[in-house]
Amino acid sequence: MLVLLLFLFYIFPLQIFAAPTVIINSVPDVVTAGTTFPVSFTINEASSSASYHYKFFGGIDNNVYKITNNSDLSYSSSWSNFPQVTLNPTSSNIFNDYAFIKPDVATNTLNLKIRIYNTSTKIGATSPSFSIEVVTAPPTSVPTPTEEPTLTPTKTPTPTKTPTPTKVITPTKTPTPAKTTTPTKNPTPSFILTPTSITASTQTPIPTPTSVPEVLGTATTNKKNHLPLIFICLGGLFLLTPLIIAKIKNEN
């Protein structure tokens, strides 16, 4: 007998000594029918490396069809359609997901369960029941549409055509020609002083220099005085200046 047990342990170690367990940790206190709700659960196994599909199910007493993973799955759906988790040797293997309560459930207490299954080893386990309170969703009142009154179309008056105003042409102001200024004629000198107009009687006689008495013991030197000659030349030049200016003007 002992030899048979050792042989079975050698061939089927996981099936005999590594059976998994699954427990539900928590759900909301009250769940509304036709909605989803969160579920926390834990999977324990000695190997801590296997993968499992899991399904939510339950109902009143032993009914299994009122709770499922979502509205597209039922209790009898294939295992390959359900979600799958893989255990981690270094983790507590706590998982979280959402379950769905069908909308035809009345207010009552339902028994929620979880079943896991390994499609390779054909090993599975079911959790203990977890009671949840379900309430029926209140019906949504559809408001009665208010009948809209028939509106009588109002005749739109034809607008009166506004006459186009005649454009007033503003006469162009003729500019006043600028006044031409007549150039000022240069006055002709009324009197030209000629050299003959000055007589000899008007000339101031140049005084004869007084002879300087000779001093004893010094030589007398006769110095010629040029001042009279210079004054005469300047006077003649002064008298000829008007004639030269008039001649220059006549040539121009």
pLDDT tens per residue, range 88-101: 988 899 999 999 99
Q: Do the beta carbons of residue 51 and residue 93 sit within 8 Å?
A: no
How would you class 182 by CB atoms within 10 Å of its CB: exposed for 0-12, middle for 13-18, buried for 19 or more?
Answer: exposed
Share of the chain above pLDDT 90, in %: 42
Give which of 38, 31, 22 is closest to 129, Cα–Cα. Answer: 22
Q: What is the pLDDT of residue 168?
A: 58
Q: What is the pLDDT of residue 246?
A: 83
**pTM for the predicted model, two decimal places:** 0.51
Task: Report in angstroms the alpha-carbon separations of 142 from 33, 106, 138, 148.
Answer: 20, 21, 12, 18
pLDDT in tens, 113-136: 999 999 999 999 999 999 999 999
Task: Report in angstroms the alpha-carbon separations of 31 from 28, 40, 113, 139, 194.
Answer: 7, 15, 15, 16, 144
Share of the chain above pLDDT 70, in %: 58
Q: What residues pair up with 94 in beta bridges, in sequence order?
A: 42
Task: Report in angstroms the alpha-carbon separations of 91 from 25, 126, 160.
Answer: 16, 21, 88
DSSP of the chain: -HHHHHHHHHH-HHHHH---EEEEEE--SEEETTSEEEEEEEEE-SS---EEEEEEEEESTT--BSEESSTT--TTS-GGGS-EEE--TTS--EEEEEEEE-TTPPSEEEEEEEEEEETTTTEEEEPPPEEEEEEPPPPPPPPPPPPPPPPPPPPPPPPPPPPPPPPPPPPPPPPPPPPPPPPPPPPPPS----GGGS-GGGSPPPPPPPPPPPPTTS----PPP-HHHHHHHHHHHHHHHHHHHHHHHHH-
In the chain, where are the structural domains located?
2-135
Q: Do the beta carbons of residue 43 and residue 93 sit within 8 Å?
A: yes
Protein fold of 2-135: Immunoglobulin-like (2.60.40)
Direct distance between the N- and C-terminal alpha carbons of the chain, in angstroms, rounded to an integer: 162
CA 105 remoteness from chain centre: 54
Give which of 130, 134, 132, 131 is closest to 107, Cα–Cα. Answer: 134
Q: Do the beta carbons of residue 34 and residue 102 sit within 8 Å?
A: yes
Residue with tokens 């993973």: 69
Q: What is the pLDDT of residue 66?
A: 96
Q: What is the pLDDT of residue 114?
A: 98
Which residues of the chain fall short of a pLDDT of 70? 1-18, 140-157, 159-224, 252
